[in-house]
Amino acid sequence: MAPFEYYLYMLNIDFDQRGLRFKFNADAELRLQDSPEVLRARVTELSLHGCFLETSRSFQEQERLSVKILKAGESFESQAEVVYSRPLGVGLMFVELDPRFRSILQKWMLTTLDREAEEIPAN
C-alpha cells in the first residue's frame, strides 16, 4: 500500500473514481420531487459530490430528490439524483449545488478529516 493510500486508510477515508468519501454521521430529510412528504434518513458517507443514506425506503436510479442534511446546528441542502440503491440505503449525487451550501459541506469534511487525523496513533 502506498503511503498516501495508507494515510487515507488510517483516517478511515475511501478514495475511488468518485473522489474522497468520508465516514459521516448525521440526520437527513428527503423529499421526492413535487411531494410534501418528508422521509427521514441517516448519512453514513459524505463527499463533495454526494452521500450515502441509510433509509428503509427504496428509490429508483436517476430519481430526483431534495436532500437536507442536519449536523451540529447547521444544515446543507441540495437537489440530488439517485445513483444506486442498496437494501440498506441509497447513494445520491448532488446536483445544482448552491455555493453557500458547498462551503458548509467543505467545512464538515475538513472537520471530519481533522477529527480522524487526531485519532491516528503515533508510531
| pLDDT value at 122 more than 80 | no
Q: Which three cell numbers stand for residue 88?
A: 440498506
Q: What is the DSSP string of the chain?
A: --HHHHHHHHTTEEEETTEEEEEEEEEEEEEETT----EEEEEEEE-SSEEEEE-SS---TT-EEEEEEEETTEEEEEEEEEEEEETTEEEEEEES--HHHHHHHHHHHHHHHHHHHHTSPP-
Most confident of 33-42, 67-76, 98-107: 67-76
| pLDDT value at 68 more than 60 | yes
| pLDDT value at 120 more than 80 | no
Mean pLDDT of 37-54: 94
Q: Considering the domain boundaries, does residue 85 fall inside one?
A: yes
* Owning domain of residue 109: 3-118
Q: Considering the domain boundaries, does residue 63 fall inside one?
A: yes
Q: What pLDDT score does 109 carry?
A: 87
- pLDDT tens profile 83-109: 999 999 999 999 988 989 999 998 998
Assign 113 a pLDDT band (cuts: 50, 70, 90): confident
- The enclosing domain of 69 has a CATH number of 2.40.10.220
| pLDDT value at 12 more than 70 | no
Q: What is the mean pLDDT of the chain?
A: 83
Q: Considering the domain boundaries, does residue 123 fall inside one?
A: no
Q: Considering the domain boundaries, does residue 104 fall inside one?
A: yes
Q: What percent of the chain has pLDDT over 90?
A: 54
Number of separate domains in the chain: 1
| pLDDT value at 48 more than 70 | yes
